Structure 1
Amino acid sequence: MNRDRTSKYLKISQEIISQIESGILQPGNKISSENELINEYKISNTTARKVLSYVENQGWVKKIKGKGTFVINRSKEMHLNRILGSFDAMKESFRNNLIKEGLTPKDILLEKIILNEGISINVNNKNHVIEGKVLKLHRLRYANDVLMKDETKYISMTLCPDIHLDEMNDSLINLYEKKYRIHLSDIQRTISTKVVDPKEKENYFGNSIPMAVFILGSVASNDRSETIEIEYSLYRGDKYSFTINTKPDLL
């Protein structure tokens, strides 16, 4: 009986590890909880705990108290994959995504100022405008002390009047919904590329040779077609890939 229990927990553990190795489970994905393992495999809570402990001790996952157990990013190059087109994915903060992948996030705030003139940007060949006061937020976002993202966001202070006082550790989308009761009805995103020269002005990546970066442009609007947020961010091309998540009813 003991051999059977040992064989059972190792078999389930290897199934989970195989799913990670094959890419079915990606870095940052949540794996089955203790209760879910019990229901799925008809095992005891002791065996389920041994499964989770084994997979974690082998360095494949990390348990985050109160949230669950998540697949760790084991890539030596620290390559990250992010989903475009998924609203649920957008509600996850940059910081929390890195923590789930076993990486250490760090932000350097370059600019947090209020613009009185408003702002406009072209996304999908359409000009989007935020009128009135706008909060400009420019942050350098790191994982394990490597700059991954040069992020600039412009936020409507007409719709979010006190947002400059917030810590902004959570995703801004969650902040808009929870604090300001804003219903987001449309998010337009474009992605393009460019090559950043080491000597280019305001290049913070510290690259010694020309480096490709992704340019993400984004506009978020409410159900009255008012623009809440405009984003212009640079992502390291050697550290990122993007997955497009398209719902069938949009095809």
Structure 2
Amino acid sequence: MQEPYSPPKYFQIRRDIISMVQRGELAPGNPVPSENEIIEKYQVSNTTARKALHELEKEGWVTRIKGKGTFVKNYTVVRAINRIFGFTKNMIEAGRKPATKLTGFHLRKGDHTQVVNGREFTMRGPYCEIERVRYADGIPMMSETRYISLQFCPEIHRRNLEHSLYQIFEKDYGIVLTEINQMVSAVIIEGAALEVFQLEKPSPAFRVEGVSFCGKDMIVEMEDSVYRGDMYRFAAKAVR
């Protein structure tokens, strides 16, 4: 009987270190195990240890600084809150590979109301409520609940909701967002949310609540999202 295939040792080491980064055990800027530490832990040659670190650097997970060591690359993504663009475009601009997983779906008949920046907004029903997890290079970056108007986007629940909603709005419904009102607050990822974000201990995060318009008082969607605090920075610009 043929023995089962076993990946090369350097690949297993690389996979272990990537998992530590994804779980938050190795934060951006933290040193990763050195060649000597890898040799000792995995009982491999210096060639194998060096190759594992080289592959991690080549794939953009780490940065090697001569004379200092190898460090987790800063994966922080800047999200400009004064620009109208979605997660997919944001990740592509940051050089990340975006992906989306649909985790929940409901059709609602009633209205949906949220308070954003002290003002109450109501989106008339019916609407489609979806829950999604958004990834960059396989790392869970945000968890979101979105409420989409079925008046403006009929049958949207029959579209592939793991694609960019902004692209669906424009391509399938001819809708271009003209205004987004958002409120950002600080929260903690804990409890059941830890599993969603593949984290082992409570972690700071940003909660973003928002309402999107395609014209005066024409609400297309509303959102309630949580962004990993160690993966995001929010940028705003004000002019006088």
Residue aligning to 2:220: 228
1:85 and 2:82 correspond: yes
Matched residues in 1 for 2:223 and 2:202: separation? 24
Q: What do residues 166-217 of structure 1 show as CA deviations (whole Å, max 9, x unaligned)? A: 22566433433443233544311111111222xx244422322221100011
Q: Which residue of 1 aligns with 2:199?
A: 207
How many residue pairs match? The answer is: 173
In structure 1, distance between residues paired with 2:175 and 2:131: 23
Give secondary structure in 1 for the equivalent of 2:179.
Answer: strand
Residues 95 and 169 of structure 1 are in contact (CA less than 8 Å); yes or no, is this contact kept in structure 2? Answer: no
**Does the 8 A contact of 1:220 with 1:227 survive in 2?**
yes
Q: Residues 180 and 135 from structure 1, CA distance in 2 versus in 1: closer, same or farther, beyond 3 angstroms?
A: same
C-alpha separation in 1, matches of 2:113 and 2:157 = 20
Relative distance call for 1:142 and 1:171 in structure 2 (3 A) is closer
Aligned equivalents of 1:165 and 1:202: distance in 2?
A: 28
Contact 2:77-2:232 within 8 A present in 1 as well? yes
SS at match of 2:186: strand
Q: Which residue of 2 aligns with 1:76?
A: 73
Opposite residue 94 of structure 1, the aligned amino acid is F
Query: How many angstroms does 1:97 deviate by?
Result: 3.5
Match of 2:188 among 187, 195, 199: 195
SS at match of 2:166: helix
* Distance across 2 between alignment mates of 1:125 and 1:180: 30
Distance 2:104 2:223 in 1: 14
Q: Map of 1:79-228 to 2, 5 A cutoff?
A: 79-87=76-84, 90=85, 93-168=86-161, 171-182=164-175, 184-197=177-190, 200-203=191-194, 204-228=196-220
2:100–2:163 contact (8 Å) kept in structure 1? no
Residue by residue over 1:72-95, the C-alpha shift from the partner in whole angstroms, topping out at 9 and shown as x without a partner, is xx97141111111123xx1xx423
Partner Cα distance (2:107, 2:189) in 1? 28
Distance 2:100 2:203 in 1: 22
Q: Quick one: distance in 2 between partners of 1:155 and 1:129?
A: 12
Q: 1:138 to 1:105 in 2, by over 3 A?
A: same
Instruction: Quote the RMSD (CA, aligned, Å).
Output: 2.8
1:117 positional shift: 1.9
Q: CA deviation at 1:122?
A: 0.9
SS of equivalent residue, structure 1 residue 135: strand
Separation (CA, whole Å) in 2 of partners of 1:174 and 1:145: 21
- 1: CA distance between counterparts of 2:118 and 2:180? 14
Contact 1:86 1:245 in 2 (8 A): no
* Partner AA of 1:112 in structure 2: F
**How far apart are the structure 1 equivalents of 2:98 and 2:166?**
19
Indicate how the Cα distance of structure 1 residues 225 and 149 shifts in structure 2: closer, same or farther if over 3 A, else same: same
- 2:143–2:225: 8 Å Cα contact kept in structure 1? yes
Q: Is the 8 A contact 1:85 1:244 kept in 2?
A: yes
Aligned to 2:4: none
TM-score normalised according to structure 2 size: 0.63
Secondary structure of the 1:206 match is: coil
**Where does structure 2 lack aligned partners over 5 or more consecutive residues?**
1-57, 61-70
2:73 aligned counterpart, secondary structure:
coil
Q: How far is 1:114 from its partner?
A: 1.1
